[in-house]
Chains A and B, each alone.
Chain A
Amino acid sequence: DSGVTQTPKHLITATGQRVTLRCSPRSGDLSVYWYQQSLDQGLQFLIQYYNGEERAKGNILERFSAQQFPDLHSELNLSSLELGDSALYFCASSTRDRGNYGYTFGSGTRLTVV
């Protein structure tokens, strides 16, 4: 157990639907990062939050949004889902607002859009 908790582990949903992925960072970590992993694109950075504030955006679609709550857990919302959104979605956390330290990853949410 890495200390980063992601729920649900698996999600199967239909095209056009909306889902919410949840992440609880490791205790004491203020930074949360979301990554999408697919076979053809590898690990793509989506977005980062630090202590409730958005800090960096990567290749995140407009149909996707995220937030970090006062208790530091984060949610990634995916809407108008398409078949191509099927992927593993990872949350990671770190102690500082920098990549100067290693990230701790959760075990991911496997999203299947049918």
Chain B
Amino acid sequence: SQQGEEDPQALSIQEGENATMNCSYKTSINNLQWYRQNSGRGLVHLILIRSNEREKHSGRLRVTLDTSKKSSSLLITASRAADTASYFCATWGGSEKLVFGKGMKLTVNP
């Protein structure tokens, strides 16, 4: 069963613009992770934020977590055509597995 739901399901922007993706989840978590998947390829881990953290940065990525609202957002600044991919949020609640959302497609037009 899906835990996280990404929103919007698809986003199309121009190069240089910022892209914001949101993730909502249902149960309590230990951490939330974001992954990127290029078409037909494996998922690549981008960033992990723990439940006691509110914001984290990694290069052009900024992730926030609001545990009271059970939501997270991923911001990609100054987007590039190479950022075109599907993005997934995944939650870990202390059991053995990560639970992934259905993903959202980001298209960055040159």
Known: A2-B44, A110-B40. A103 touches B98 (CB 8 A): yes
Within 8 Å CB of B14, what residues of A?
A: none
- Interface-forming stretch among B19-27, B68-76, B77-85, B88-96? B88-96
Chain B: residues with Cβ within 8 Å of the partner, total of 23
With both chains docked as a complex, state the minimum distance between the C-beta of A29 and any C-beta of chain B, in angstroms.
13
Q: Quick check: A90 and B42 within 8 Å, CB to CB?
A: yes
Within 8 Å CB of B97, what residues of A?
A: 33, 45, 48, 56, 58, 99
A16 within 8 A of B: no
B107 within 8 A of A: no
Within 8 Å CB of B101, what residues of A?
A: 42
In the assembled complex, the Cα of A113 lies from the Cα of B42 at a distance in Å of 21
With both chains docked as a complex, state the minimum distance between the C-beta of A44 and any C-beta of chain B, in angstroms.
8
A106 within 8 A of B: yes
A43 CB contact (under 8 Å) in B41, B88, B96: B88
Q: Quick check: B30 and A107 within 8 Å, CB to CB?
A: no
A108 within 8 A of B: yes
With both chains docked as a complex, state the minimum distance between the C-beta of A100 and any C-beta of chain B, in angstroms.
6
B61 within 8 A of A: no
Beta-carbon nearest neighbor of B43 in chain A: A105
B87 within 8 A of A: no
Q: Which residues of B contact A (CB under 8 A)?
A: 2, 30-31, 33, 35, 40-45, 48, 88, 92, 95-103
Q: Which 8 A-B pairs have the closest CB atoms?
A: A99-B92, A56-B96, A102-B45, A105-B42, A43-B100, A42-B102, A105-B43, A107-B42
